[in-house]
Amino acid sequence: MRNGTVVVVEDDPHIGELVEMYLRRDGFGVVICPSGEAGVETVRREQPRIVILDVGLPDIDGFEVCRRVRAFSAVPVIFLTARGEEIDRVLGLELGGDDYLAKPFSPAELAARVRAVLRRTDAPAGPGPLDDREVLVAGRAEVDVGRREVRVDGSVVPTTAREFALLRFLAENPGLALSRAQILDAAWGFDWYGDARTVDVHVAQLRKKLGTACTITTVRGLGYRLEPGPGPS
Ligand code: CA
């Protein structure tokens, strides 16, 4: 359990067992849920570090599970999709999915994705390098890098790992026009195969969540810019 808990929402017991075996080998505690409803409740109870979420479930689908989880948690989510299943990538991203894996997948590959997502999304525990304890300002929003938390007027605004990384990058470069490629590079990392639309979806989500607290301007033909200063209140 030294690495914390992973909740796996998967109705196929063979896949569940295989995934469990690999994740336990990596030092995770694993809780498997065979249905979506149970998955939501288990995430609420266990507060896992990451959720592995099958899209095709017997009751509510994985997207709906993610939607319900997002009401109370920004935990990283990796979707599993069945062979031949059309991945609604944009829908998944809007719901705050952090990665996808298509079945059949190798459990070693899944374990590697779990490590990669956690590397990108986790703040180090305790005192870390100076810039990891920084609190950046985005309009009236505070981007607390150490706590991995966005606050507006003192209240936490729940963000997904990607939204946080994106806002952090914008806040590190206030007033600068940043290309979608630069943003993808900084907030998603070199091992991400996303396209420019991915950035647009996440910016739209951030605008919705932050409202007038900060202004992210579209720079036509290029990307986005975080307006410096307090912005309209
Ligand atoms: Ca399934």
**83 and 27 in a common domain:** yes
- For residue 126, name the pLDDT band (cuts at 50, 70, 90): very low
Do 20 and 89 lie in one domain? The reply is yes
Bridge partners (DSSP) of residue 137 are 142
Map residue 106 onto helix, strand or coil.
Answer: coil
Spacing, Cα 158 to ligand 1 middle (Å)? 28
Contact indicator for 57, 32 with CB cutoff of 8 Å = no
Instruction: Quote the pLDDT of residue 63.
Output: 87
**Which residue would you say has higher pLDDT here, 5 or 189?**
5
pLDDT tens for 150-195 read 999 889 999 888 889 899 999 988 899 999 888 887 887 655 556 6
Average pLDDT over residues 39-59: 94
Q: CA 199 to CA 77: how far, in whole Å?
A: 18
* CATH code of 212's domain: 1.10.10.10
Query: What's the rounded mean pLDDT across residues 200-229?
Result: 92
Which residues sit opposite 8 in a β-bridge? 32, 52
Taking the centre of ligand 1 as the mean of its atom positions, its distance from the CA of residue 36, in whole angstroms, is: 10
Only one residue has tokens 């809007």, namely: 94
For ligand 1, the distance from its centroid to the CA atom of residue 57, given in whole angstroms, is 5
> pLDDT tens digits for 210-222?
999 999 999 998 9
In the predicted model, what is the mean pLDDT of residues 117-126? 63
Q: Which residues of 134-153 are buried (b: 16+ CB within 10 A; e: fewer)?
A: eebebbbbbbbbbebbbbbe
The reply to whether 232 falls in a domain is no
Residue 179 shares a structural domain with residue 103: no
Confidence of residue 226 (pLDDT cuts 50, 70, 90): very high
CA of 16 to the centre of ligand 1 (A): 10
Residue 125: which region, alpha, beta or left (left: phi > 0; alpha: psi -120 to 50)? beta
Q: What is the pLDDT of residue 16?
A: 93
Which residue would you say has higher pLDDT here, 143 or 108? 143
The CATH number given to whatever domain includes residue 114 is 3.40.50.2300
- CA dist 47 and 92 (Å) reads 21
What percentage of the chain has pLDDT greater than the value 70?
84
pTM of the predicted model, to two decimals? 0.58
Q: Please determine, for residue 148, whether its predicted confidence score (pLDDT) is greater than 60.
A: yes
State the pLDDT confidence band at 71, using cuts at 50, 70 and 90: confident
CA 81 to ligand 1 center in whole angstroms: 8
From the CA of 79, how far away is ligand 1's center (Å)? Answer: 11
Give the Cα separation of 74 and 167 in Å (integer). 15
Ligand 1 centroid vs 91 CA: distance in angstroms?
A: 18
Q: How far is the CA of 195 from the centre of ligand 1 (A)?
A: 27
DSSP H or E stretch at residue 67: helix 62-70
Ligand 1 midpoint to CA 56 (Å): 4
User: 196 C-alpha to center of ligand 1: Å?
Assistant: 30
Ligand 1 centroid to residue 7 C-alpha, Å? 15
Number of Cβ within a 10 Å radius of residue 193: 9
Are residues 148 and 108 part of one domain? no
* 163: Cα within 13 Å, side-chain hemisphere: 26
One domain for residues 148 and 173: yes
In this prediction, residue 10 has a pLDDT band, given cuts at 50, 70 and 90, of very high
